[in-house]
Structure formats: C-alpha cells, structure tokens
Amino acid sequence: MSGNTFGTLFAVTNFGESHGPAIGCVIDGCPPGMPLSEADIQADLDRRRPGTSRHVTQRAEPDAVEILSGVYEGVTTGTPIALLIRNTDQRSKDYGDIAQRFRPGHADYTYWHKYGVRDPRGGGRSSARLTAPTVAAGAVARKWLAEAYGTRFRACMVQLGELDIGFESWEHVPHNPFFAPVADVQRFEDYMDALRKAGDSCGARIRVQATGVPVGLGEPIYDKLDADIAWAMMGLNAVKGVEIGAGFASAGQRGTVHGDSLSPEGFRSNHAGGVLGGISSGQDIEVQIAIKPTSSILSPRASIDTAGQPVEVSTRGRHDPCVGIRAAPIAEALLALVLMDHALRHRAQCGDVHQSVAPIAASAP
C-alpha cells in the first residue's frame, strides 16, 4: 500500500496540504451500526485546534469537519467514511520567502530531493495541520472502542523543554493550556513567554495511556501491538523517541525487577506497559514520546538554497513555539487508531476463541 494510509482493516487514508483547498481522510472498514455525527468528531478536533491559547500558533481555523459518506440517518453503514475539513485561513504570503531555501530541521530539503517539486505553502504536506484528519479518524475509533470494550484514552505533558512537569493527577489536564497533570502551571507560562521573546522553541515529552484494553490485541511477530504503537507515534511530526512501559529505564533494570508478577487479583506492576510478546495483556497501555523543538523559529540559522548556495533562514509566520503542547489529543488519537485496527484484526482471526478462565485485572488492588 502507498504510504498515506493508517491501518489495515480500519484503514485511514489521509490527504491534503496545509494551504490547499482542503484536508481530510477516508476511513475504510468502520463497523456498521454505530451512531456517528460531526459533533462526535468535532470535540476532539477542537482540543487540537490552533489559536486556543497564547502559547500556540494564532492561525484561526475553525477546522469544521463534514461527513461526506458512510453515515446514513446518523448511523455508520460500513462503507467508507470520508471526512472533509476546508482550509480557510491560508496566508501563503507568509511563506513565499522560503520557497527556494531549506529551513533547517524541516522537510523542505528531503521533499525537494525526493519529489523534485514541493508545495512550500505552510509546509505543504509536512505541516502539523495534517494531524487534524488523524484526530478526526481517531475520534471515530475511540467511540467504537469505548462502546465495545470501555476503552479510554488520555494524554498529558510530562516535560516542557528543560522543565520536568511531574504528575499529580489526570484531573488537572483539561484545566490548563499545557495538558499538564499538575495544578500550578505558572512556571510553564513564564517559560513559554521567555522562549517566545528569545525567538526560540523547545521540545516536550508526552505520556499517553489507554485503559480498559481487551487482552489479545496484536500479532506475535512484526505487527506486534507495541511495534504498531511505535510506528504511529514516531510518525507524528517532530517525534524523536517512543517508549512503552518502563522504556529506556528498562535497559538499566534487572529481570527480578522488570518482570511484572501475576496474581489471581491482577498484575502487580506494569513495567511492560500493557504489552507482552507484542500482544495486549489487559493492563493499561503506557506510552511516552519525545517531541523535538519546533523547527520554525525567528532566530536566523545557516542553510542553503535550491541552487546549493549558502543562505540564512529565519522563519516568520504563525508557529507553535512548542509543538508538544498540542500533541496530547493527537497522541490519544494515534493510540486509538492502533487499538481499533488490532481489535478488528483480532476478531477476524480469533473471533471464536473463548477461554473458560477470564483474564485477571489490569492491576492488583
């Protein structure tokens, strides 16, 4: 399959450019009979939307989604669901000066050599704007998984640039513009203000979690559940690292510590992050991702132009100084899409497997 499709059975094909007429996706393989409306999708899109705080790009896009197909009288029919989002706030003049020069850290250079041509308007297809269709498709997956298994998804920021955020409670996440799981975010406000003044940007680390995951999702070799999660997360713009469970810390652990004990009451720890041998264990799926600092910064940097000559590049325009801030809802959507696809794959092959003994609890009391 060509490269712009996510999933094999719940297959999401993404299209569009940041400043073209529209962006969107086609979801092929959604189970029939599920109530679905634009409102179900819009809520997640709004959480990802630009312009919601002073710490993200001020591009003002309503990102209103239209369902073009696959839904009849408010219910999915099992046929492809096409989702369309018109681009409305295209200021291509902001980007004219970068058409002939390659911004460091951006896809400009690689697109140009790969394709011979590239759409420079707003980063074209490499823009983070193209995560909107992913979020939209993720909303459909989340709804189905919630109804079928009670699976839920949430994400929060656990590091902002040099600052470790810590974790107090999931309840704080919706109440601050950073998706931070802490009550007091003043130092993050200050940090961002200083960053913006310096014409610089910063990275971030995001934690993503799924709860209520059924046992048995994933394939033993290659298409493991954790492999597909890593694929989905690393494919998100600016992500440079992915961990499952104990992640990089497990390199320094011993077997007596790492292996999660089982008891009739449930698992006694979750270093595995919810995946054993590539297959979900029923524990919470725990993922962390590292996001690099935004490449579009005001500070001038050395680069070359399309003729190979040295130039200096300074990116004006409307950019997120920390793309990690808006990454939380996107990461949730990505995790939901992976689980959704594997839920259908599992049902295909093992739909008639029933053990007499039920799975144990995700965690022992």
Residues 58-87 that bind its own copies (CB under 8 A): 66-70, 72, 75-82, 84
Interactions with its own copies, residue window 311-340 (CB under 8 A): 324
> Coil, helix or strand for 364?
coil
Nearest to 34 by CA among 85, 83, 6, 73: 73
CB of 282 to its own copies, least distance (A): 8
CB of 53 to its own copies, least distance (A): 19
Which helix (H) or strand (E) covers residue 232, if one does?
Answer: helix 225-234
**Residues 307/244, Cβ–Cβ less than 8 Å:** no
CB of 289 to its own copies, least distance (A): 9
Buried b (16+ CB within 10 A) or exposed e, 204-218: bbbbbbbeebbbbbb
Q: Is 57 an interacting residue with respect to its own copies (CB under 8 A)? A: no
Q: Is 186 an interacting residue with respect to its own copies (CB under 8 A)? A: no
CB nearer to its own copies: pick between 53 and 79: 79
Nearest to 65 by CA among 119, 10, 26: 26
CB nearer to its own copies: pick between 185 and 204: 204
Among 56, 202, 325, 339, binds its own copies (CB under 8 A): 202
Q: Is 138 an interacting residue with respect to its own copies (CB under 8 A)? A: no
Interactions with its own copies, residue window 97-136 (CB under 8 A): 102-119, 121, 124-126, 130
Instruction: Provide the terminal-to-terminal Cα distance of the chain, rounded to the nearest Å.
Output: 45
CB nearer to its own copies: pick between 171 and 261: 261
Q: Is 253 an interacting residue with respect to its own copies (CB under 8 A)? A: yes
Q: Is 349 an interacting residue with respect to its own copies (CB under 8 A)? A: yes
Return left, alpha or beta for 185; rule: phi > 0 is left, psi -120 to 50 is alpha, else beta.
alpha
What span, in angstroms and rounded, lies between the C-alpha atoms of 339 and 154?
14
CB nearer to its own copies: pick between 70 and 171: 70
Return the sign of the alpha-carbon dihedral for residues 43, 47, 48, 53.
Answer: positive
Contacts of 242 (CB under 8 A, 6+ apart): 229, 230, 233, 234, 287, 288, 289, 290
Q: Is 48 an interacting residue with respect to its own copies (CB under 8 A)? A: no
CB nearer to its own copies: pick between 13 and 176: 13
CB of 37 to its own copies, least distance (A): 14
Q: Is 212 an interacting residue with respect to its own copies (CB under 8 A)? A: no
Give the interface segment with its own copies, choosing from 36-44, 51-59, 175-183, 220-228 (CB under 8 A).
220-228
Interactions with its own copies, residue window 287-306 (CB under 8 A): 290-297, 299, 301-304, 306
Interactions with its own copies, residue window 149-178 (CB under 8 A): 159, 161-162
What span, in angstroms and rounded, lies between the C-alpha atoms of 317 and 361?
50
CB nearer to its own copies: pick between 171 and 266: 266
What span, in angstroms and rounded, lies between the C-alpha atoms of 136 and 55?
23
